[in-house]
Structure 1
Amino acid sequence: MLEGVNVALGVTGSIAAVKTVELAHELRRQGADVRGVMTDSAQGIIHPWAVEFATDDDVVTEITGSVEHVDLCGYDGWADVFLIAPATANTVGKIAGAVDDTPVTTCATTALGADTPVVIAPAMHEPMYDHPGVLEAIDTVSEWGVDFVDPRLEEGKAKIASEEAIVCDVARAAGDRSLEGERVVVTSGATAEAIDPVRVITNRSSGKMGRAVARACYVRGADVTLVHGVVGPRPITGTGDSLEIDGDGNLPYATVRNVESASEMLEATREACADADALVSAAAIGDYTVEGSDEKIRSGQELSLALEPTPKLIDTIREERPELPIVGFKTETSGDERAMIEQARTALERAGLAFVVANDASVMGADRTTALLVHAEDAARYEGTKAGLAGEIADSIAAIGGDANG
């Protein structure tokens, strides 16, 4: 997500500075090069050697005749983004007032003057975060184009945002925002049809692909709504992406609408698509439903279920939004790529899709995938991570929007 991005990481005197080492590691795991900048107060909480170890580079602890702030954040400076995490109330207020009396605030003043993107992740006690002066400072700095990663309000504290939220906002600030101003709806996960209050009919979709697409669109500047179904039956492996849900039930990169059944997913998607600019239908929506029992069906008896087909979500949305760019997914089990392309083109032509992502059912729940991006005239093969495929999909959506506006 951050391949080739240089991140100057400012650390201030919040107790959340203890999380800086892991944050720096995560930024580097996502591909970034990181250099640390610390205030004196931060050094009282975490030693500069720890930040040096985490970043594998020297740490700026004072501004000298070498003009470290200009080297990092000035015109033609090293940093693509200046990230302050954690940022105290004191630091935010100083930035708003153009006070630069620490290495971090001096770098912030320089970055703002040089149009270097700045991302701030506040961390403080909640009463401090609610102080009118702090809120005014946040509003002021936000108007200058600084991106704030909202803290988690828990236990009377405005805790620093999750690593995933910070990484997503850093990537968004560093990128070209090719989907800026666009509203993208993504469906994800599986649906489940109730047989009785205990049992359901579902499938093995993990929702990883849809969440990766939502994240990729957000990083490119989009306002994303994720219509998320249940996660199908998968073994617990201890790997894979996390679900950092906030207090409102949303993800750092998307507003989430949780659904269970195919009819619920259709209704939520219809509502979300009313003002959307694109739809990515990545969910594994059940093809059949059943009239469920209000009471648990007793075991040990023979049972037959009358299955009824569910409405096709893509066809319904296409009828209501004839011009909406829609990306479809087609999952097969044959392993025959030629047959997969034929099936994808059938869906593409039937619903007037922008393109179709075709893959084999064996990739459900995995972090890596093999897929075919099938357009009307050609098909491209992709093999790699689902995050990488999500990036390809988001770039294709941006290209479609650019062609339409061109």
Structure 2
Amino acid sequence: MRGPRGSVENLHPSKDIVGAKSSELGGKRVALCITGGAAAYRCPDLARELMKRGAEVYAVMTEAASKLITPELMRWATGNPVVTELTGDIEHIALTTGDDKVDLVIVAPATANTISKAAHGICDNAVTTLIASALGSNIPVVFVPAMHASLYVSPGVQRSLEELRAMGGEVIEPWMEEGKAKMPDVSFIAERVAERLTRRGQFKGLKFLVTAGPTREPLDAVRFLTNPSSGKMGFALAEEAWRRGGEVTLIKGPVEHRAPHGVKVVDVVTTEDMYRAVEAELTNTGYDVVILAAAPLDYGFSSTFNHKLPSGLAELDVKLQPRPKISMAVRKLAPKAFFIGFKAEHGVSDEELIERAYARLLEAGMDLIVANDVGRESRGFSCDTNEVFIVDKERRVVHVSLRSKREVAKAILDVAAEKMGVGG
């Protein structure tokens, strides 16, 4: 079924296009898993786009997919045999073990059915079994959901996607148009595949410490002061650093998100807790990169009550006291670490936002600072999207326009990698 790595297995005429556009995927093997969604008709084009960038592509199809496009069409498109069922050749093992294993599995289109099965480890066809084997073999698995919008946003599908991310899977977000979650252009998908494969291992050997989420300051046994931070930005940074090969520790406030299984998680509640956790990690471990993406409270109550205060009080006077500033301790604890901080403002101009961020960078001895205005629509706490300005020590600014926080995380780490001189 397969020849030596880096070779074109046979002289099938379809393979004349391999490397026609670029060699960025040269020597890479990609398993294209096709499920029974209407977007399956675009898979021959996707396969050939990957091939034009140098990849060898192996199609794996569900029975439902075979009713929409024939396996013979995918055989023509890829020049390789197509897997439609598992046989005595144990195709799912052949594709995920040994020197000739695939470098990446892409599931496109990924239907709600397949996403849900994969999230729960169900192996009832060639595609779901290959996904499970790939995840168990530490092979990147990329899902490209495509379905009606109502299905995509349904709690079950979203929960399953989060489960897959926690297992190490990656999701290329669909394009929301005309009430549908559509599969993106094949060139966009191929670009993401190339990005995923070329950056894999970029941060190998580097240790990352990331903070995420809010903190809480208790008033009494049931009430507390906090902020709306969701931790999504910090989780996205931790996940992206881990995907690029970094050894990641995530110190998180009280949020419910799950980190990938390869990330060490430290749970904290108060700002003092987070400060002590950061202090302990930096004292005991030689971190190469520190990213403070959390939103710890600057103030807490001067005194607290260990019981629930009665709700009928006519008046309650409380005092707030400053809490320790974590960003001001990092440089002393980790003088050689590459230090990335965040600066959130509300209702200021871009110029003022950048100026305040730069002042904080100098004050704390950061290498980069990421500034955003949480008062702007779709850019605040709890949003899935963000717009940021990345400022360095020379006051050079990189503007990252509004996009998903996962994409923002990639942009931040791209800038950091360049500053650190890390290839990828």
- What's the CA shift string for 1:286-333, capped at 9, x where partnerless? 001112111111222311212111111011122111121111100111
Q: Residue 277 of structure 1 is aligned with which of 288, 292, 298?
A: 288
1:117 and 2:141 matched: no
Could you say which residue in structure 1 is the equivalent of 2:304?
Answer: 292
**Contact 1:37–1:61 (CA<8 Å) still a contact in 2?**
no
1:188 and 2:212 matched: yes
TM-superposed deviation, 1:335: 2.5
TM-superposed deviation, 1:202: 0.5
**Contact 1:117–1:174 (CA<8 Å) still a contact in 2?**
no
1:219 and 2:230 matched: no
1:368 and 2:385 matched: yes
Unaligned runs of 5+ in 2: 1-24, 51-56, 107-117, 124-132, 141-160, 172-192
Q: Residue 399 of structure 2 is aligned with which of 371, 381, 387?
A: 381
- What's the CA shift string for 1:241-284, capped at 9, x where partnerless? x93x4xxxx53352221111001111122233332211110111
Q: Residue 147 of structure 1 is aligned with which of 115, 138, 161?
A: 138
TM-superposed deviation, 1:10: 6.5
SS of residue matched to 1:68: coil
In 2, Cα distance between the equivalents of 1:58 and 1:7? 19
Q: Residue 167 of structure 1 is aligned with which of 144, 148, 169?
A: 169
In 2, Cα distance between the equivalents of 1:301 and 1:337? 43
Unaligned runs of 5+ in 1: 12-19, 39-46, 73-85, 92-99, 126-137, 150-159, 232-241
- What's the CA shift string for 1:69-94, capped at 9, x where partnerless? 5x99xxxxxxxxxxxxx9x9xx9xxx
In 1, Cα distance between the equivalents of 2:323 and 2:236? 26
Could you say which residue in structure 1 is the equivalent of 2:273?
Answer: 264
**Contact 2:357–2:369 (CA<8 Å) still a contact in 1?**
yes
- What's the CA shift string for 1:97-155, capped at 9, x where partnerless? xxx8244445456xx44574267999589xxxxxxxxxxxx9xx99xx95269xxxxxx
Cα distance, 1:259–1:21 mapped onto 2, change above 3 Å: farther
Cα distance, 1:108–1:385 mapped onto 2, change above 3 Å: closer
Question: Which one-letter code corresponds to 2:251 in the other structure?
Answer: V
SS of residue matched to 1:162: helix
Cα distance, 1:361–1:124 mapped onto 2, change above 3 Å: closer
In 2, Cα distance between the equivalents of 1:322 and 1:283? 20
Alpha-carbon RMSD across the aligned residues, in angstroms, is: 4.4
**Contact 1:60–1:68 (CA<8 Å) still a contact in 2?**
no
TM-superposed deviation, 1:67: 6.5
Cα distance, 1:310–1:124 mapped onto 2, change above 3 Å: same
Could you say which residue in structure 2 is the equivalent of 1:14?
Answer: none
In 2, Cα distance between the equivalents of 1:185 and 1:60? 49
Question: Which one-letter code corresponds to 1:167 in the other structure?
Answer: G
In 1, Cα distance between the equivalents of 2:392 and 2:170? 29
In 2, Cα distance between the equivalents of 1:52 and 1:218? 38
Q: TM-score, normalised by structure 2?
A: 0.61
Q: Percent of pairs identical after alignment?
A: 29
In 1, Cα distance between the equivalents of 2:198 and 2:102? 9
In 1, Cα distance between the equivalents of 2:67 and 2:332? 57
SS of residue matched to 2:203: coil
Question: Which one-letter code corresponds to 2:291 in the other structure?
Answer: V
Q: TM-score, normalised by structure 1?
A: 0.64
SS of residue matched to 2:221: coil
1:251 and 2:278 matched: no
In 2, Cα distance between the equivalents of 1:297 and 1:353? 42
1:328 and 2:341 matched: yes
In 1, Cα distance between the equivalents of 2:416 and 2:240? 11
In 1, Cα distance between the equivalents of 2:407 and 2:74? 39
TM-superposed deviation, 1:21: 6.4
In 2, Cα distance between the equivalents of 1:58 and 1:354? 54
How many residues of Structure 1 are paired with residues of Structure 2 in the alignment? 311
Cα distance, 1:289–1:393 mapped onto 2, change above 3 Å: same
Cα distance, 1:59–1:193 mapped onto 2, change above 3 Å: farther
**Contact 2:30–2:102 (CA<8 Å) still a contact in 1?**
no
